[in-house]
């Protein structure tokens, strides 16, 4: 696992503290700062989904896994269900990362509210019962856009996994 250099971690904590002090007073943060936070979160969530994509793609082509699931319908189904669970966990991880950021910025008083807001916004449900302060509302756009992109990525990954399991089925029947 990669570790950030101590001076980089201190810089990040200092930046977060400076931003949090603005959040507490609802001092108008620069739109550029909000866009940079959104861009950073998009990169982090993309890295998480890239790791999940790599894991599932490599696993579905791993010879022992192929030998294990190719001749058995229920094992191929288990691979798809397992992949769906891993993808779901990655999406929950994305929401949790946003919740931690928003809570760390002082925009919510507790992690539960922050997680709820992040989840509702990330999934584009948007009840509107919890909102960010008006001066931080650009972050809501970032959460929603990130959710839209990750939902599309996750759907494509799950479709790939189903397709891969169907390829294994056909391969087994052609040889069988």
Question: Average pLDDT in the 47-75 region?
Answer: 93
pLDDT given at position 70: 82
Question: Average pLDDT in the 96-101 region?
Answer: 97
Those residues with Cβ within 8 angstroms of residue 86's Cβ, 6 or more apart along the chain or in another chain: 52, 55, 56
- Residue 129 pLDDT exceeds 90: yes
pLDDT category, 30, cuts 50, 70, 90? confident
Question: Average pLDDT in the 156-165 region?
Answer: 95
**pTM recorded for the entire structure:** 0.83
How far is residue 122's CA from residue 143's CA, in Å, rounded to a whole number? 5
Candidates 44, 42, 3, 36; CA nearest to 19 is 36
pLDDT category, 1, cuts 50, 70, 90? very low
pLDDT category, 40, cuts 50, 70, 90? very high
pLDDT given at position 2: 45
Which sequence spans correspond to the domains of the chain?
Answer: 29-175
pLDDT category, 6, cuts 50, 70, 90? low
pLDDT given at position 168: 87
**pLDDT above 90 as % of the chain:** 68
- Residue 55 pLDDT exceeds 60: yes
DSSP state of 134: G
Question: Average pLDDT in the 86-93 region?
Answer: 98
How far is residue 71's CA from residue 30's CA, in Å, rounded to a whole number? 58
- Residue 3 pLDDT exceeds 50: yes
Q: How many CB atoms lie within 10 A of CB 160?
A: 15
């Amino acid at each position: 696992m990669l570790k950030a250099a101590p001076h980089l971690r201190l810089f990040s904590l200092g930046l977060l503290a400076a931003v949090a002090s603005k959040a507490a007073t609802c001092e108008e943060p620069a739109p550029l700062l909000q866009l940079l936070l959104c861009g950073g979160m998009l990169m982090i969530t993309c890295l998480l989904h890239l790791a999940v994509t790599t894991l599932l793609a490599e696993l579905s082509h791993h010879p022992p896994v192929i030998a294990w699931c190719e001749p058995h319908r229920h094992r191929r189904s288990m691979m798809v269900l397992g992949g769906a669970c891993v993808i779901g966990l990655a999406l929950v991880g994305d929401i949790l990362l946003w919740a931690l950021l928003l809570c760390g910025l002082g925009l919510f008083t507790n992690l539960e509210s922050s997680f709820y807001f992040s989840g509702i916004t990330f999934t584009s449900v948007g009840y509107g019962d919890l909102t960010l302060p008006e001066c931080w509302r650009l972050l809501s756009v970032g959460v929603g856009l990130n959710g839209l992109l990750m939902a599309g990525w996750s759907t494509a990954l799950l479709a790939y996994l189903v397709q891969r399991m169907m390829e294994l089925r056909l391969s087994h029947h052609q040889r069988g």
